[in-house]
């Protein structure tokens, strides 16, 4: 009976998605006809935005490039920044593409929005680069960024957020050391101080927090980050619809948040698990991209069944999940953990043995990573401490040099003042002597005239 109900739901879901797709395509066709009649790049931007919002994700990259180009001709810098961020989200795995986006962002006039875009680009690229960086590269970057953080260099809120995001991203894959905890806590506190226009960074950081907390089994904190992210998306959708983008939807992003939340079902009640799963199903009915992802990957159903204690029904979906060759190490760890629980409850000893064996192997790899990263963190802290001591020594030397220079300057000033006093004194004395000498000369001249008197006639 349950299989029949599930099949019926899947069939109805397919009809619903097909109808939604046809409705979207009709609107896109009408908008493309309007685009041919646009009289200016600015008019084209509004139409292209609606086409972008209605289009499937697979087609959005090309439309975003077109929008970026048209917005440049219209000198619409807000749209340029927006499209660069959208493309950065989708193209982060391609370093060449990211370099191209950086070049395009560089020619946009300076503004807070451009600064936000540049930071967003750097964060997306970092997340991708971390998968390729060696242990030494990660350690060197940590030493560099942590040294400036600890010294308090750069009081700007964006600079502080950038450093904290970098530290959290590098340390958040495996380690749970003090540096990782400090960076996450400080980043959360900083989020509330960001200006309203920094919403792309705020959403990016909440997504990073939700992922990091999920990967390190901090279920309640991960759910808290996703709730804030979902709240932000609801507000953004409302603002977009109110300001002329009626088709702007965060359906796919909401789906990712809900799926991540339900994976942390251990911090949810059974009713909350059911509510979240129903929201996932509702999104799949109206958004073709959500429907395709929901159908392809079984993770949502696995966590729903486990969260509602339907362990026997969960096992086939867990096995399907484990058969995916592209499943990441962390998702494989999660799936094996669920299989271990389900096999234990259902008394399936063969599956339990398999789950325990593979789970232990993965946990050993994670423990190795965590030990290595924690040792690296200690090494980083030592390097930072050494750098700080060197800087303090240099500052002390500079201070002593400055004080010595100040003493010398004070002595010079005293000597100059004394010389000036002497010169002024000399000039006053000289002036007095000259004045006295001139006075005597005048008196002598007057005395000579008085002695000679007035000439008389002698006859």
User: CA 379 to CA 338: how far, in whole Å?
Assistant: 35
Helix (H, G, I), strand (E, B) or coil at 298: coil
Structural element, H or E, at residue 416: helix 349-452
The answer to whether the beta carbons of residues 164 and 145 sit under 8 Å apart is no
Mean pLDDT of 89-93: 92
Place of tokens 């609606």: 50
pLDDT in tens, 140-166: 887 787 776 655 545 688 988 998 898
Looking at 330, 346, 379, the residue that finishes a domain is 379
Place of tokens 């009976």: 1
Alpha-carbon torsion, ordered 38, 43, 45, 49, to 10 deg: -80
Q: What pLDDT was estimated at residue 458?
A: 39
Residue 39: inside a domain: yes
Q: What pLDDT was estimated at residue 351?
A: 95
Residue 186: inside a domain: no
* Average pLDDT score over the chain: 83
Helix (H, G, I), strand (E, B) or coil at 330: helix
The answer to whether the beta carbons of residues 272 and 287 sit under 8 Å apart is no
Looking at 327, 356, 379, the residue that finishes a domain is 379
Instruction: Tally helices (H) and strands (E) across the chain.
Output: 18, 0
DSSP code per residue over 86-135 = HHHHHHTT-HHHHHHHHHHHHTSPP-HHHHHHHHHHHHHHHHHHTTT--H
What sign results for the dihedral spanned by CA atoms 18, 21, 27, 30?
A: negative
Place of tokens 């971390």: 130
Report residue 50's pLDDT band, with 50, 70 and 90 as the boundaries: very high
Residue 121: inside a domain: no
DSSP code per residue over 129-197 = HTTT--HHHHHHHHHHHHHHHHHT----HHHHHHHHHHHHHHHSSS---HHHHHHHHHHHHHHTTS-GG
User: CA 318 to CA 335: how far, in whole Å?
Assistant: 6
Residue environment code for 385-403, b if the CB has 16+ CB neighbours within 10 A, otherwise e? eebeeeeeeeeeeeeeeee
Residue 325: inside a domain: yes
Q: What pLDDT was estimated at residue 65?
A: 97
Q: What pLDDT was estimated at residue 459?
A: 35
Cβ partners under 8 Å of residue 68, min gap 6:
79, 80, 83, 84, 87, 104
User: CA 395 to CA 379: how far, in whole Å?
Assistant: 24
Structural element, H or E, at residue 451: helix 349-452
The answer to whether the beta carbons of residues 76 and 60 sit under 8 Å apart is no
Report residue 15's pLDDT band, with 50, 70 and 90 as the boundaries: very low
The answer to whether the beta carbons of residues 372 and 134 sit under 8 Å apart is no
Give burial (CB, 10 Å; 0-12/13-18/19+) of 62.
exposed
The answer to whether the beta carbons of residues 352 and 41 sit under 8 Å apart is no
Report the domain count for the chain: 2
Residue 335: inside a domain: yes
User: CA 315 to CA 340: how far, in whole Å?
Assistant: 10
Q: What pLDDT was estimated at residue 370?
A: 54
pLDDT in tens, 190-238: 888 899 999 999 999 999 999 989 988 999 999 999 999 999 999 999 9
pTM: 0.77
- 406: number of Cβ within 10 Å: 10
Residue 187: inside a domain: no
Q: What pLDDT was estimated at residue 389?
A: 46
Looking at 326, 353, 379, the residue that finishes a domain is 379
Residue 77: inside a domain: yes
Domain range for 57: 24-114
Q: What pLDDT was estimated at residue 450?
A: 53
C-alpha neighbours within 13 Å on the C-beta side of residue 80: 26
pLDDT in tens, 93-125: 898 999 999 999 999 999 999 999 999 999 999
Residue 303: inside a domain: yes
pLDDT in tens, 265-285: 999 999 999 999 999 999 999
Cβ partners under 8 Å of residue 254, min gap 6:
230, 233, 279, 283
Q: What pLDDT was estimated at residue 445?
A: 58
């Amino acid at each position: 009976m349950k299989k029949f109900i599930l099949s019926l739901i899947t069939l109805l879901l397919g009809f619903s998605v097909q109808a939604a797709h046809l409705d979207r395509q009709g609107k896109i066709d009408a908008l493309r006809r309007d685009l041919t009649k646009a009289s200016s790049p600015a008019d084209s931007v509004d139409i292209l935005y609606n086409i972008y919002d209605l289009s499937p994700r697979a087609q959005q990259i090309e439309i975003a490039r077109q929008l970026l180009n048209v917005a440049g001709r219209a000198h619409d810098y807000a749209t340029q920044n927006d499209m660069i961020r959208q493309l950065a989200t989708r193209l982060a795995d391609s370093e060449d593409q990211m370099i191209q986006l950086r070049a395009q962002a560089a020619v946009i006039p300076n503004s807070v929005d451009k600064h936000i875009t540049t930071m967003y680009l750097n964060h997306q690229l970092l997340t991708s680069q971390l998968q390729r960086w060696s242990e030494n590269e990660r350690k060197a970057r940590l030493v560099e960024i942590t040294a400036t953080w600890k010294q308090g260099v750069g009081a700007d809120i964006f600079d502080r957020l950038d450093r904290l995001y970098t530290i959290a991203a590098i340390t958040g894959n495996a380690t749970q050391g003090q540096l990782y905890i400090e960076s996450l806590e400080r980043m959360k506190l900083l989020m509330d101080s960001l200006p309203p226009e920094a919403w792309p960074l705020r959403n990016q950081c909440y997504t990073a927090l939700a992922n990091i907390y999920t990967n390190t089994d901090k279920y309640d904190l991960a759910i808290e980050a996703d709730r804030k992210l979902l709240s932000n998306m609801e507000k953004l959708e409302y603002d977009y619809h109110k300001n002329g983008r009626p088709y702007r939807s965060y359906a796919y992003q909401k789906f990712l948040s809900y799926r991540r939340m339900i994976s942390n079902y251990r911090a949810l009640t059974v009713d909350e698990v059911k509510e979240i799963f129903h929201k996932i199903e509702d999104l799949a009915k109206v958004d073709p991209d959500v429907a395709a992802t929901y159908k392809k990957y079984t993770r949502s159903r696995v966590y729903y069944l486990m969260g509602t204690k339907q362990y026997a029904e969960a096992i086939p979906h867990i096995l399907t999940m484990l058969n995916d060759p592209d499943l990441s190490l962390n998702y494989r760890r999660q799936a094996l953990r669920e299989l271990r629980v389900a096999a234990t409850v259902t008394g399936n000893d063969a599956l339990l043995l398999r789950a325990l064996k593979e789970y232990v192997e993965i946990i050993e790899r994670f423990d190795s990573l965590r030990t290595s990263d924690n040792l690296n963190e200690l090494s980083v802290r030592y390097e930072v401490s050494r750098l700080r001591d060197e800087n303090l020594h240099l500052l002390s030397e500079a201070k002593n040099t400055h004080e010595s220079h100040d003493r010398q300057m004070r002595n010079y000033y005293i000597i100059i003042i004394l010389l000036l006093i002497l010169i002024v004194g000399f000039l006053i004395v000289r002036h007095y002597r000259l004045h006295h000498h001139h006075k005597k000369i005048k008196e002598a001249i007057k005395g000579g005239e008085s002695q000679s008197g007035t000439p008389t006639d002698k006859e």
